């Protein structure tokens, strides 16, 4: 709103510039921190990388709390413009202090020579398996901004008597980083070192196992949700405490370890390879999510489509009409949806999964199967039929998703709501007039997921546990070799 041209082009251009800037900053700033320390003060490396990571998370705490609030009430111009202005100030400040730092100049052709030397290739070859183990960690950790937010929507969000937003739970991670780094640096590490030498690979291995424990807690919380309970958000915060500890043991330690194990002229390059582990981890999650996606039936508006019997003109034909899928089960679905709305109107909450399935256990679809009900979140529920193939979780599943529209007075005063009124823009709806009903109903044929609920989180828990076990022999046989600036 306020800019001309294709939104997609502007978005991709912005993301591209962020990626370009981050790609230049992240590997170099880590190496630059390490370059300030040589052979004489190498004992300070662990502490400085912890302090470096702590300083990053000071900004993360502030941004996680402030930027969503600014975006909601003051709009994207200030929400994105303010960080941009602060980045300009940070750049100027860094430039002013340029003469205070130890500078390791670019090595030009000697960089290429060292990169492809036997020593360089050996160092990289030894580190890549480590980075692959770390990628699995990121595969789980980065779900804090996706699946864990969706889980939080189904939990009791009261913290010390104050109800928080599901997305605000993410702020717990950088906050805990600030709390835990001093405890690990000046408490836990020295105490353990008095008993047994705590090597970087021992820290990483411990972190991998701890990460599996954190997701086991998340899985158990999800099991409670699947039973129709509303567990406290403190269970997720406990998981945050544990996997933030894992982050300190893995991410910070690997930053330092990757720096020390990289030959002097290719340190920034090795740090960049380490950061690729984040990408690989997210790609793994993406591939898994694509694999569990159930195919969606391709329907064209106002056209009859042959159903499961592949014959037009029979009882199981489908038609997409004004974003409403008409099928033999549609009337039953709509009647059942009306029941869900009545329950919500009277109790001010959607039925739990257990309660919903009990209520609809006697409601059969035209093919003789009971309807299935799932509470997706506190404001969203799904009602589905196994469809004409009588099998759950296939492309022939037919159903509706009921979403409660938050039309509170506070939401009407947000920047987006005001901007829509100013421009006479109304929200789209599927089959319900949102000005008359607080509910939005979406029809679907297939397109759901085959792995959901607690089973989804247990899958990643087992993946992390297997990774941690495999890491043990790797850590035993790895022979470290450090390269520090002179």
For range 76-81, the mean pLDDT? 89
| Per-residue confidence band for 5, with pLDDT thresholds at 50, 70 and 90 | low
In a domain, 107, yes or no: no
- Count the alpha carbons within 13 Å of 464 in the hemisphere toward its beta carbon: 30
Contacts of 114 (CB under 8 A, 6+ apart): 107, 120, 263, 264, 265, 266
Indicate the average pLDDT of the chain.
Answer: 87
**pLDDT in the model for residue 426:** 59
Q: Are residues 426 and 476 in the same domain?
A: no
Q: Are residues 366 and 472 in the same domain?
A: no
In a domain, 303, yes or no: no
Contacts of 313 (CB under 8 A, 6+ apart): 304
Closest to 236 (Cα-Cα) out of 181, 138, 183, 159: 159
In a domain, 47, yes or no: no
Q: What is the dihedral of CA 446, 450, 454, 457, to 10 degrees?
A: -120
CATH of the domain at 485: 1.20.1250.20
In a domain, 162, yes or no: yes
Q: Residues of the chain with pLDDT > 70: what percent? A: 94
**pLDDT in the model for residue 406:** 60
Q: Are residues 467 and 336 in the same domain?
A: no
Q: What is the total residue count of the chain? A: 486
Residue 313 has pLDDT above 60, yes or no: yes
Orientation of helix 253-261 relative to helix 7-35, angle to 10°: 70
Q: Rounded CA gap, 86 and 107, in Å?
A: 31
Q: What is the pLDDT of residues 136-172, one digit of tens each?
A: 999 999 999 889 998 998 889 899 988 887 878 888 9
Cβ proximity of 365 and 353 under 8 Å: no
Q: Rounded CA gap, 346 and 365, in Å?
A: 26
Q: Rounded CA gap, 362 and 413, in Å?
A: 44
**pLDDT in the model for residue 34:** 75
In a domain, 202, yes or no: yes
Q: What is the pLDDT of residues 423-453, one digit of tens each?
A: 777 554 334 444 457 888 999 999 889 998 8
In a domain, 38, yes or no: no
Q: Are residues 131 and 186 in the same domain?
A: yes
Instruction: Check residues 182 and 98 and name the one with the higher pLDDT.
Output: 182
For range 468-474, the mean pLDDT? 97
Q: Rounded CA gap, 446 and 316, in Å?
A: 15
Q: What is the pLDDT of residues 391-405, one digit of tens each?
A: 999 999 999 999 987
In a domain, 183, yes or no: yes
Q: Are residues 242 and 143 in the same domain?
A: yes
Q: Are residues 475 and 428 in the same domain?
A: no
Q: Rounded CA gap, 388 and 281, in Å?
A: 38
User: In this structure, how many other beta carbons lie within 10 angstroms of the beta carbon of residue 450?
Assistant: 13
Q: Are residues 263 and 403 in the same domain?
A: no
Q: Are residues 353 and 260 in the same domain?
A: no
**pLDDT in the model for residue 432:** 41
Domain that holds residue 370: 327-445
Q: Are residues 399 and 468 in the same domain?
A: no
Instruction: Check residues 125 and 163 and name the one with the higher pLDDT.
Output: 125
Residue 205 has pLDDT above 70, yes or no: yes
Q: In the chain, how many domains are there?
A: 3
Residue 124 has pLDDT above 70, yes or no: yes
Residue 39 has pLDDT above 60, yes or no: yes
CATH of the domain at 344: 3.30.700
Q: Are residues 441 and 461 in the same domain?
A: no
Q: Are residues 485 and 384 in the same domain?
A: no
In a domain, 21, yes or no: no
Q: Are residues 258 and 362 in the same domain?
A: no
């Amino acid at each position: 709103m306020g800019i001309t041209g294709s939104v997609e082009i502007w978005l991709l251009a912005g993301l591209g510039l962020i990626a370009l800037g981050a790609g230049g900053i992240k590997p170099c700033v880590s190496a630059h921190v390490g370059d300030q320390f040589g052979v004489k003060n190498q004992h300070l490396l662990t502490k400085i990388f912890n302090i470096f990571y702590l300083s990053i998370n000071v900004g993360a705490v502030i941004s996680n709390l402030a930027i969503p609030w600014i975006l909601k009430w003051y709009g994207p111009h200030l929400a994105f413009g303010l960080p941009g202005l602060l980045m300009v100030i940070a750049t100027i400040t860094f430039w002013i202090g340029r003469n205070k730092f130890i500078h390791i100049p670019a090595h030009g052709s000697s960089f290429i020579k060292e990169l492809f030397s036997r020593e360089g290739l050996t160092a990289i070859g030894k580190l890549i398996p480590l980075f692959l183990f770390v990628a699995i960690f990121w595969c789980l950790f980065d779900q804090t901004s996706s699946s864990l937010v969706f889980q939080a929507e189904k939990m009791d969000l009261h913290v010390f008597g104050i109800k928080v937003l599901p997305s605000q739970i993410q702020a717990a991670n950088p906050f805990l980083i600030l709390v835990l780094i001093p405890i690990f640096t000046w408490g836990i590490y020295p105490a353990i070192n008095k008993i047994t030498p705590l090597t970087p690979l021992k820290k990483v291995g411990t972190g991998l196992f701890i990460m599996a424990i954190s997701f086991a807690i998340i899985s158990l919380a999800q099991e409670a949700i699947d039973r129709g309970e509303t567990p406290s958000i403190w269970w997720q915060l406990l998981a945050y405490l544990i996997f933030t500890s894992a982050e300190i043991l893995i991410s910070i330690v690997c930053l330092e370890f990757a720096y020390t194990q990289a030959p002097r002229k290719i340190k920034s390059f090795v740090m960049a390879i380490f950061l690729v582990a984040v990408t690989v981890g997210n790609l793994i999650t993406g591939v898994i999510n694509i694999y569990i996606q159930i195919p969606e039936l391709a329907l064209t508006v106002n056209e009859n489509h042959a159903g499961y019997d592949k014959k037009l003109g029979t009882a199981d034909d489908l038609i997409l009409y004004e974003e409403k899928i008409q099928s033999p089960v549609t009337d039953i679905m709509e009647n059942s949806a009306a029941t869900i709305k009545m329950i919500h109107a009277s109790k001010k909450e959607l039925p739990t999964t257990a309660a919903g399935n009990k209520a609809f256990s006697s409601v059969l679809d035209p093919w003789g199967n009971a309807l299935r009900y799932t509470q997706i979140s506190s404001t969203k529920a799904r009602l589905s039929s196994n469809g004409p193939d009588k099998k759950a979780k296939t492309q022939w599943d037919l159903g509706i998703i009921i979403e409660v529209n938050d039309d509170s007075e506070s939401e009407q005063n947000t920047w987006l709501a005001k901007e829509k009124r100013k421009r006479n823009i109304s929200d789209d709806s599927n089959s319900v007039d949102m000005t008359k009903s607080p509910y939005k109903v979406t029809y679907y044929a297939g397109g759901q997921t085959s792995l959901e609920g607690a089973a989804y989180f247990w899958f990643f828990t087992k993946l992390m546990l297997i990774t941690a076990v495999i890491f043990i022999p790797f850590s035993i046989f790895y022979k470290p070799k450090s390269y520090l600036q002179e």
